[in-house]
Amino acid sequence: MTPEYAIETVQLGKVYYSRFRGRKIPAVNDVTLRVPIGVKFGLLGPNGAGKTTFVKMLLSAVHPSSGTASLFGRNSQDPEARRPAGYLPENHRFPTYLTGAGMLDFYSALSGLPSGERRRRVPELLELVGLRDWSDVRIKKYSKGMLQRLGLAQALIHRPRLLILDEPTDGVDPVGRRQIRDILDGLTGSGVTVFINSHLLGEVEAFCEYAAILDKGRLVLEGKISSLTAGGGYRIAVSYLPEQALAALRKAGAAIIPTGGALQVQAATCEQANEFIDTIRNAGGLIESMQASSSSLEDVFIRATQAGKAA
């Protein structure tokens, strides 16, 4: 039977004991999450939300206290389930005395690649991540951005079907970030699932199709990014707005945003937008356009994480 999901967790949880009075602290609390095969997925959350612990449970580096995690339909604690996965941790360390090519050859040998395939695969990967000219340079001379790209090459050695990346563009310059996104786009185009753990909301919004937000170990929001950021209200562009209309709009709770020589009137709903339009027209104002506006992923993130604090 062909699996439907690359990652599937059911009430996955991990409980730690506090150093103080033996209290139990849930690092991850009953997370049920499904990641379809072949998509670009972003896992978001504040520091300490449980993102890294969640990823480590997927890879069986940390064992759950409750629930299950599966990769392509197999329990992640089965070594064979993890074979199709490539992983780049956030704070990776490579032997600095090795060259880039030497390091990739060493790790590909650990992955079980035959020597003939290693000789073909290593130059191919160095070319892919833009490090061909640095292949014979010792890693101790690499910049942080170069180390990130080398780490990505390491995660791709065995041609994984699932790529799990923890902060993959941290320390990478804008050109390098674009290059990494292009590489990952090519992978998902060939059916690879890319799972990114990141705090860079703009990067996730620009690259990923799906996202989930963890807060205090709990899954507080998930779905398609286009759906999560939709429904931000309406913006009415106004080239002329009499003073009495401006006062009436403010009294009605409209947000007035100056934009150059014009104004934008923000309405929360379609009904409210129509009321504002009537107010502007009745006062002799000039409307240039009206369009639906959406929230940014940052707005969605802040609302989702602040809601838990308010509760």
The mean per-residue pLDDT over the stretch 11-32 comes to 86
> Which tokens belong to 197?
């753990």
Q: Residues of CATH 3.30.70 domain(s) within the chain?
A: 234-293
Q: Is the pLDDT of residue 60 over 70?
A: yes
Q: Is the pLDDT of residue 310 over 50?
A: no
Q: Is the pLDDT of residue 151 over 60?
A: yes
Confidence of residue 202 (pLDDT cuts 50, 70, 90): confident
The mean per-residue pLDDT over the stretch 61-71 comes to 95
Q: Residues of CATH 3.40.50.300 domain(s) within the chain?
A: 5-228
pLDDT at site 311: 45
pLDDT at site 104: 96
The mean per-residue pLDDT over the stretch 190-219 comes to 91
Single-letter residue type at 108: S
pLDDT at site 307: 65
d(CA 103, CA 132): 13
pLDDT at site 68: 96
pLDDT at site 287: 93
The mean per-residue pLDDT over the stretch 263-289 comes to 89
d(CA 28, CA 65): 9
- CATH code given to domain 5-228: 3.40.50.300
Q: Give the chain's mean pLDDT.
A: 89
Given the candidates 3.55.40, 3.40.50, 3.30.1380, 3.30.70, the CATH classification of the domain at 234-293 is 3.30.70
Most confident of 132-141, 244-253, 290-299: 132-141
Confidence of residue 30 (pLDDT cuts 50, 70, 90): very high
State how far the alpha carbon of 261 is from the alpha carbons of 239, 279, 291, in Å. 8, 20, 19
List the one residue out of 234, 307, 248 whose CA is nearest residue 278: 248
Q: Is the pLDDT of residue 212 over 60?
A: yes
Percent of all residues in the chain with a pLDDT value above 70, rounded to a whole number: 95
pTM (two decimals): 0.80
Q: Is the pLDDT of residue 73 over 90?
A: yes
pLDDT at site 299: 84
